[in-house]
Amino acid sequence: MNGIIQNPILRGFNPDPSIVRVGDDYYIATSTFEWFPGVQIHHSRDLKNWQLLGQVLDRPSQLDMRGAPDSCGVWAPCLSHCDGLFYLVYSNVGSFDGVWKDTPNYLVTAPSIHGPWSEPVFLMSRGFDASLFHDTNGKKWLTNMMLDHRAGKFFGGIQLQEYDPLQQKLVGEVKHIFAGSELGFTEGPHIYQHNGWYYLITAEGGTEYGHAVTMARSRDIVGPYELHPQNPIISARNYPDAPLQKTGHADLVCTQHDQWYAVYLAGRPLSARGRCTLGRETVIEQMEWRDDDWLYPVTNQKTTRLQVPAPGLKEFSVRPIAELDNFTAQTLSPQWQSLRVPVTEQWLSLSERKGFVRLKGRESLSSTREQSLIARRVQAFDIEASCKIDFSPKNFQQLAGLVCYYNTGHYLYLYISCNELTGQRELHLINCDNFVVAEPLQTPIILPPYGEILLKVEWHQSDVQFYYSNAESCDNERIDSENAKAWKKVGPVMDGSILSDDHVREMSDRYRPAFTGAFVGICCQDLSGMKLHADFDWFNYREFSIPDNADQLNHNDEYHQVSEQGV
């Protein structure tokens, strides 16, 4: 048994964790926003080692996000289990600009965490962050934050209403049970029972550097609720040097041995209170009930440790995630996700050319409808990603390549296209920042008229450098990126920190939701509508670690390769 849990437990963009224990198994559901399929599920048996099982919402009837704005879609899922059935509540946010917000909430159920998951039951659209609580008296209650558009208020407190599983709908009066504390921005409610009390945990202070975990309690589920005497119980808002920032949006779990832990989101900035390119991640901290019937961190500190004592459960074996994906399987690995719509044979095929993934060009990287893009989370500060591509464009409107992506207005893209006047294949590089596209290359790089090309990106902290190589310089007996000889730099070092929530908010002339994280992947566009395809032979993702004694916020440039571990 290993006694230490290393934070974060779910690295990279994995926010708004909802945790449930079923027997000896622990499951965490996290938000996926505009990425499809919706709601990531991780599994563990020791709270330390976590395996990605996949995603829950895998068909449009459960999750229709076509046209959804950036950082809308799936918000704050709540995973619970009662009487042999898994329950998953989620919001599918359709719009968030201006005073009006469209936030329908749904419920799906399944007999197993692996499914099959039901068709959704509509619950309400009064707000978001809905949570289902199973009372010991047999009743089920839905809590949610209430949207209040009047006079720019936005956050209207926490509501409660009974859910009838037989009628599959909310019934009875809507109760307003909690107005929030002085921290404001009250959201993310969860209810628990302990020692004769109902406890309400909420996220407050906004999901940036003022984020916090608030606790209140009542003898009656409808209130009134009194605040914790040391509210907030978890927050880095007053600790700018803490390595784990933005801590909030918590959920609780009790182990088989009556040990209590909280899981919640956090950000790891590149510098103190700086940008968090890895997005909001999931962390854990040990908690304890004290004689006053209030819950506290065992450290009696509001900040979160990088290393947390484990509960002493048997070590859970996790299958390492392969660095190299050579696309020989019949389906994509769960690491891959698409934007807003599911993967179908209409735009992605693993069978039309064996050993390749074929992407059929569709709309631009600015599209919120039909992109031919698959990508995976960036989960470390120092990574390398590469691919081998076979693409024969006929004109400048046909593009395909390697992309570092945050949203439709922020990405770095190395791609192959064609000059229809000369007939030459060309390599281009673009930097899209706040929807403004710049081309760092003064002139495009001329490529051989046909054949495969290797593309690579090295991303260290905020520095992003792209490379390319002709496939002929690669040892054909091995197809990983290490064998690509004579890598040539493409363009200057670029700023990868623009692919962060923080930068997106800084640059916007109006409020835009920015809640995801950086991805790296492959894509193909055919702006002419002819659906010309690009074939990718393989994709390789590697992480690097820094020396153990390096500063948490100032990583040493001397790094060594490590195999990626499943999380």
Catalytic residue numbers? Answer: 16, 187
* DSSP summary character for residue 502: H
* DSSP summary character for residue 118: P
In angstroms, the CA 535 to CA 358 distance is 4
Q: Are 251 and 201 in contact (CB under 8 A)?
A: yes
Q: Are 24 and 256 in contact (CB under 8 A)?
A: yes
Q: Are 277 and 499 in contact (CB under 8 A)?
A: yes
Q: Are 420 and 399 in contact (CB under 8 A)?
A: no
φ and ψ at 472, to 5 degrees?
-65, -20
In angstroms, the CA 225 to CA 69 distance is 36
Nearest CA among 143, 301, 302 for reference residue 234: 302
Q: Are 63 and 92 in contact (CB under 8 A)?
A: yes
List the helix and strand counts (H, then E) for the chain. Answer: 1, 41
Give Cα 195 distance to the centre of its chain: 35
Residue 413, amino acid: Y
Virtual torsion, Cα 507, 508, 509, 511, nearest 10 deg: -140
In angstroms, the CA 542 to CA 320 distance is 12
154-187 burial, b if ≥16 CB within 10 A, otherwise e? bbbbbbbbbbebeeeebeeeebebbebbebebbb
Structure tokens that stand for 185 in this block: 């921005």
Residue 5, amino acid: I
In angstroms, the CA 525 to CA 548 distance is 42
Alpha-carbon Rg for the chain, nearest whole angstrom, is 24
